[in-house]
Structure 1
Amino acid sequence: MSGGALRPHAHSPTLRELLDDDQVHVFDGAIGTLLYGRGVFVNVCYDALAVEEPERVSAIHREYVAAGAEVLETNTFGANPVKLSAFGLADRTEELNRAAARLAVEAADGRARVVGAVGPLGIRIEPWGPTSVEEARALFRRQMDALFEGGVDGLLLETFADPHEVEVALEAARASAGDRPVLVQITVGEDGRTAYGADAARELARLESLGADAVGLNCSVGPAVLLDVLEEAAERVRVPLLAQPNAGLPRTVRDRKMYMASPDYMARYARRFADVGVRFVGGCCGTTPEHVARIAHTVRGLHPRHASTSVRVGVEHAPHTPVPLAERSSLGAALAAGIPVKTVELLPPHGWNAGPMVEAARACAAAGVTAVTLVDSPRGPSRMATAAASTLVQRDAGIEAIMHYTCRDRNMMGMLSDLLGAAALGVDNLLLVSGDPPVQGPYPDATAVFDIDAIGLTNVAVGLNRGVDPGGAALSAPTRFVVAVAVNPGAVDQERERSRFRWKAEAGADVAITQPVFDVESLRRFLDATSAHPLPVLVGVWPFLSLRNAEFLAHEVPGVAVPESTLERMRVAQERGPDAARAEGIAIAREVRAEVESIPRVAGVHVSAPQGDVAAALAVLEDPAP
């Protein structure tokens, strides 16, 4: 109608009534991509626009109502304290969510119901990261409670990939919502599985069992992939199903991301969603009021197909029994039997020629070393990947490798792929560390990822040993990893280091390897303080090659404590010449080895080969003459 007053309208059914009836209903579409398309720069906090530019957001809500949307989402996908903190807005969490909720309710004007949109926190929570479940629940509750204060009819948890995080979010939502509806959507890749590898249909059934009033999929991919998953989910799930796909996968057109799926294409798939039993359809990234209008026109009055009543509970095969430690590798066998372990740390080559590394490993094998550790991209030039280096050493040098692996350079899915690849290559010993930021060396602009830390990755590896991936999907067979973790008895913040050690032990690590130890009393104190978690320890031993080498460790390597008496011994030796200094450094390392091997829980030593001096490392491991 143009001109004159608007025609009076009847108020829409409640959200609970929409969930309980037997018709297909329409959600709205994207907000973020529309705001971007209308001139809002990407460096702006979109979740703050309800306060800073409310008319922009309100106009989009009204357009979706006019297009036929029966359910609106608040513009609050990232309005949790963690994501808002990137804009310095964490302390305004409640204000922004209340404002966004009120704006959507006002725009709906009784013609549509409003759900509070809640997305992932943007951080890893235990067991994959340092944020506790209790902390995560509290962060979610701040947003959720404010959304209800603003007048939403229910909550929509959307675009979750981590099965554990969405479970925590759902627990928080149920506590916040009371008897009001909580709808949950996860996101999948082109293979129809979550980013953590979980079977999506099984995951939706699990979320139903945890108390979701409706479950479904949104974002990431276009409607075709979602249709396949939801058709399977319809056989497992009794609560209403939701589908909010992107308008296809974005394409780059003149430096701009464009979503190519037309309104007619999306409407055809809306009909197909209804045909397989989906009750709520709408859109995500790239969709517009035009898409929603075509969807609403197509599904109006439709009744979804009813799924089979023989619901299959979404549980995959139970995890495998882990392979006993003694059967995983020679290192595992030595640890299980209490045989003293001797390991030597080697550097992979800077380049592709593995010859010198293999020769060094052969020398270690001839000297009776249990295994060699291949260091993952230390400071300085880039080096061969440790999975490849470990494979070459095991194949060509006849000695087991321990694959040193840092969390710094890969996201979680990349790490998972690397670990599965290592298992396929027969590399069964891991040393998992978080890694140092790449602030040194010839690549000053290199960036770190730190998607999860070493505690989280230990949980991943131990799960793989049980035959289950982070998404809960069963593997065809369990991995056989001996999982080593790093520990620093000389850390400045002892409380933090002991806590992290405890969490690594609780995650299921098999052995800990220390930073180089020169002050044996600090090691004793650390082991006494962590006696409640008696993980066996390989003590790091470092043979100094010179006074400069000793001073470098003492003054430039965080967490390494070198007693002044040891430095004085190196000063005196250096005055006699470089050979004398090297010999003194080896003698000091041999003394440390002899002392630590008598300490309970010490399962052996882990000797460094500074500057590639493998002969010095092997000299430390020589047993004294009878």
Structure 2
Amino acid sequence: MTVDVKVLDGGFSTQLAMHVNDTIDGDPLWTSKFLYYNPEAIYKTHLDFLRAGSDIIETNTYQASVSGFVRYLNKTKEESLELIKLAVDLAKRAVIRYKEEVKDLDVSNREPLIAGSIGPYAAYSHDCSEYTGKSCNKFDSIESIIDWHKPRFEALVNTRVDLLAIETIPCANEAIALTNLLKQYPDIKAWISFSCKSDGKSIVDGSNFKETVLQCYRSVYPGQLVACGVNCLTPKAMTPLLKTISEKEINQFIPMVAYPNSGEKYSSTSFTWIKESDLHPPEEFIKEWLDLGVRYVGGCCRTNTQDIERISAEVKSWMKAHLNST
């Protein structure tokens, strides 16, 4: 039996830095400011990841929000939504170009998909609370969280992305709100990935990871969540979390998504990444994760096209071995 594994892209800001001569980390709009200042660099970054082997690229909308564009670029709501739509257009343009490049070549990602990136409210807060959970009490109800997310959510859905990437979610209440919002669009598929602690059991607001995943997965229509998992955590810390939602643990197969950072840790005071002494690259963990049930795998912060090439090679090796054993 053939198992379908999708290779995602890597850290957008890391690769984007190759194409811009400007500050990215520390800016309140992060990479989304380049939708206004340098859209061509965004297009080139998408193309880089496609050429590296990504089956799915994400739109540059993780930190894009109507609130953010109004506040930091002095845009109207309508202009802000146009920037979000532009992010999708740039990804589509890169896919069209890439498909032209490989039409006569033997590549595994001939039909790449586009995932509309939906980051947490914490990304707008610009206080690193996606890693601390500090923003989890900003809203007084699930409905108010939905109201904040809905403009970007609708803009991405209306541009007909292939699926949504609901990612780096630090709060159980925000995850519930976003899956409630997803259910309003029965034909739309998504994955959801969480910002987690390194304790092997918790998302950063302290909620139990396994329980939150199960609640989200079972709350939407069957097949609507294509995967649940973790992103932007060190590869080593991801494995125990993924094990808690493996088929062996919960007696149900839930496809998983995993895209770790490079293994470095981010300082919320200096806005810099700090290298750990015990650093293991993501590709060392890929085959174990695939055995656990990961079906969407890539990289997050501080990973680049070279990491995606290595991850893609590990995926191909695993799939070949899996095919030969069945």
TM-score (norm 2): 0.77
Amino acid at match of 2:5: V
Counterpart of 2:40 in structure 1 is: 55
Structure 1 residues 135 and 126 mapped into 2: Cα distance closer, same or farther (>3 Å)?
A: farther
Match of 2:5? 24
Describe how 1:421-570 pairs up with structure 2 within 5 A: none
Structure 2 SS opposite 1:214: strand
Task: State the partner residue of 1:283.
Answer: 299
- Asked whether 1:223 is paired with 2:235, we answer yes
- Residue in 1 that maps onto 2:191: 183
CA shift for structure 1 position 103 = 0.7
Q: Secondary structure at the match of 2:137?
A: coil
Aligned pairs (5 A) from 1:608-623: none
Which residue of 1 is the match for residue 105 of structure 2?
A: none
The structural deviation recorded for 1:251 is 7.2
Q: Does residue 83 of structure 1 match 2:99?
A: no
Give yes or no for contact 1:226–1:245 (8 Å, CA) kept in 2: yes
* Paired AA for residue 112 in structure 2: A
Please tell me whether the aligned partners of residues 97 and 150 of structure 1 are also in contact (alpha carbons under 8 angstroms).
no
Give the counterpart letter for 2:255 in structure 1. Answer: P
Pairing partner for 2:215 from 181, 206, 210:
206
Letter of the 1:191 counterpart? D
Query: In the aligned structure 1, how far is the partner of 2:90 from the partner of 2:3?
Result: 29
Tell me which residue corresponds to 2:103.
none
Q: Which residue matches 2:120?
A: 120
Question: Contact 1:246–1:286 at 8 Å: present in 2 too?
Answer: yes
Where do 5+ consecutive residues of structure 2 fail to align?
100-110, 126-132
Q: Which amino acid aligns with 2:89?
A: R
The answer to whether the 8 Å contact 1:222/1:245 transfers is yes
CA deviations 1:559-594 (Å, max 9, x no partner) are xxxxxxxxxxxxxxxxxxxxxxxxxxxxxxxxxxxx
The whole-number CA distance in structure 2 between the counterparts of 1:125 and 1:116 is 25
Kindly provide the amino acid, as one letter, of the partner of residue 290 in structure 1: Q
Calculate the aligned-residue CA RMSD, in Å: 3.1
The within-5 A match list for 1:566-581 is none
Deviations 1:500-530 (A, max 9, x none): xxxxxxxxxxxxxxxxxxxxxxxxxxxxxxx
CA contact (8 A) 2:227 2:296 kept: no
Partner of 1:40: 22
Describe the SS at the equivalent of 2:121: coil
1:164 Cα deviation (Å)? 0.6
The answer as to whether partners of 1:105 and 1:151 remain within 8 angstroms in 2 is no
Q: 1:90 to 1:156 in 2, by over 3 A?
A: farther
Alpha-carbon contact 1:159-1:185 (below 8 Å) kept: yes
Shift of 1:301: 5.7
CA shift, 1:23, in A, is 2.5
On the 8 A contact 1:158/1:186 being kept in 2, the answer is yes
CA contact (8 A) 2:171 2:204 kept: yes
* Aligned mates of 1:60, 1:170 — CA distance in 2: 29
Measure the CA separation in 2 of the matches of 1:106 and 1:33: 21
Once the two structures are TM-superposed, the CA of residue 40 in structure 1 deviates from its matched residue by: 2.6
The one-letter amino acid of 1:118's match is I
The amino acid across from 1:180 in the alignment is I
**CA separation of 1:121/1:297 partners in 2, compared to 1, >3 Å: closer, same or farther?**
same
Amino acid at match of 2:246: A
Of the three residues 229, 252, 260, the one matched with 1:245 is 260
Amino acid across the alignment from 1:186: F
Distance 2:188 2:283 in 1: 30
Whichever residue aligns with residue 218 of structure 1, its letter is N
Greater fraction of residues in helix:
2
Residues 331-388 of structure 1: CA deviation (Å, up to 9, x unaligned): xxxxxxxxxxxxxxxxxxxxxxxxxxxxxxxxxxxxxxxxxxxxxxxxxxxxxxxxxx
> CA shift at 1:90, angstroms?
5.9
Q: Aligned with 1:76: secondary structure?
A: coil
Between 293-302 and 56-65, the greater mean CA deviation after superposition: 293-302
The code of the aligned residue for 1:267 comes to: E
Residue-by-residue CA offset, 1:425-468 (whole Å, 9 max, x unaligned): xxxxxxxxxxxxxxxxxxxxxxxxxxxxxxxxxxxxxxxxxxxx
State the structure with more CA Rg: 1
Q: What is the CA–CA distance in structure 2 between the aligned matches of 1:255 and 1:214, rounded to whole Å?
A: 31
Equivalent pair of 1:125/1:131 in contact (CA under 8 Å): no
Change in Cα spacing, 1:107 to 1:135, as seen in structure 2 (3 Å) is: same
User: Does the 8 A contact of 1:248 with 1:259 survive in 2?
Assistant: yes
Residue in 2 that maps onto 1:615: none
- The answer as to 2:285 corresponding to 1:272 is no
Task: Extract unaligned runs of 5+ from structure 1.
Answer: 1-20, 306-626
Supply the distance in 2 between the matched residues of 1:290 and 1:261 (Cα, whole angstroms). 21
The one-character-per-residue Cα deviations of 1:510-554 (angstroms, maximum 9, x if unpaired) are xxxxxxxxxxxxxxxxxxxxxxxxxxxxxxxxxxxxxxxxxxxxx
1:174–1:182 CA contact under 8 A, matched in 2: no
Equivalent-residue separation in structure 2 for 1:156 and 1:168 (angstroms): 15
Q: 1:105 to 1:228 in 2, by over 3 A?
A: same
Amino acid at match of 2:212: E
Q: Is 1:292 paired with 2:318?
A: no
SS in 2 for 1:189: coil
